[in-house]
Amino acid sequence: MIYVIGIGPGKLDHMTKEAIDCLRNSQVIIGYKTYINLIKDLIKDKEIIENGMRQEIDRCNMALEISSKGKSVALISGGDSGVYGMAGLIYELNSKRDKKERIKVVQGVTSCISAASSLGAPLMNDFCQISLSDLMTPWKQIEKRLELASQADFVICLYNPKSKGRPEHLSYAFKIMEKYKNSNTPVGIVKNAGRDNEEVYVMDFGRMNFDLCDMATMVIIGNKETYIDNGKIITPRGYKI
Does residue 52 touch its own copies according to CB under 8 A? no
Cα–Cα distance measured from residue 112 to residue 123, given in angstroms and rounded to the nearest whole number: 9
Q: What does the DSSP assignment read for 131-198?
A: E---SSS-HHHHHHHHHHHHHTT-EEEEES--BTTBTTHHHHHHHHHTTTS-TT-EEEEEESTTSTT-
Per-residue x/- track, 81-120, its own copies (CB under 8 A): xxxxx-xxx-xxx-xx---x----xxxxxx--xx-xxx-x
Does residue 235 touch its own copies according to CB under 8 A? yes
Q: Which is nearer to its own copies, 152 or 209 (CB)?
A: 152
Cβ atoms 178, 151 nearer than 8 A: no
Q: Which is nearer to its own copies, 211 or 241 (CB)?
A: 241
Does residue 170 touch its own copies according to CB under 8 A? no
Number of residues that bind its own copies (CB under 8 A): 77
Q: How far apart are the first and last CA of the chain?
A: 51
- Candidate ranges 35-43, 147-155, 166-174, 204-212; the one touching its own copies (CB under 8 A): 147-155
Least Å distance, CB 84 to its own copies, is 7
Candidate list 121, 200, 202, 212; residue touching its own copies; CB under 8 A: 121
Distances from the Cα of 96 to the Cαs of 63, 71, 101, 148, 151, in angstroms?
A: 14, 20, 11, 35, 39
Per-residue x/- track, 181-220, its own copies (CB under 8 A): -------------x--------------------------
- Candidate ranges 79-87, 160-168, 197-205, 209-217; the one touching its own copies (CB under 8 A): 79-87
Per-residue x/- track, 56-75, its own copies (CB under 8 A): xx------------------
- Candidate ranges 28-36, 148-156, 161-169, 204-212; the one touching its own copies (CB under 8 A): 148-156
Residue 125's DSSP bridge partners are none
Q: Which is nearer to its own copies, 47 or 236 (CB)?
A: 236
Candidate list 26, 67, 129, 160; residue touching its own copies; CB under 8 A: 129
What is the Cα 15 distance to its own chain's centre? 14
Cα–Cα distance measured from residue 55 to residue 50, given in angstroms and rounded to the nearest whole number: 10
Least Å distance, CB 58 to its own copies, is 11
Element (H, E) at 203: strand 199-204
- Candidate ranges 65-73, 139-147, 195-203, 206-214; the one touching its own copies (CB under 8 A): 139-147
Question: What secondary structure letter does DSSP report for 109?
Answer: -
Report which residue type is found at 59: R
Which residues, 6 or more positions from 23, have their beta carbon under 8 angstroms from its beta carbon?
3, 5, 29, 39, 42, 43, 46, 74
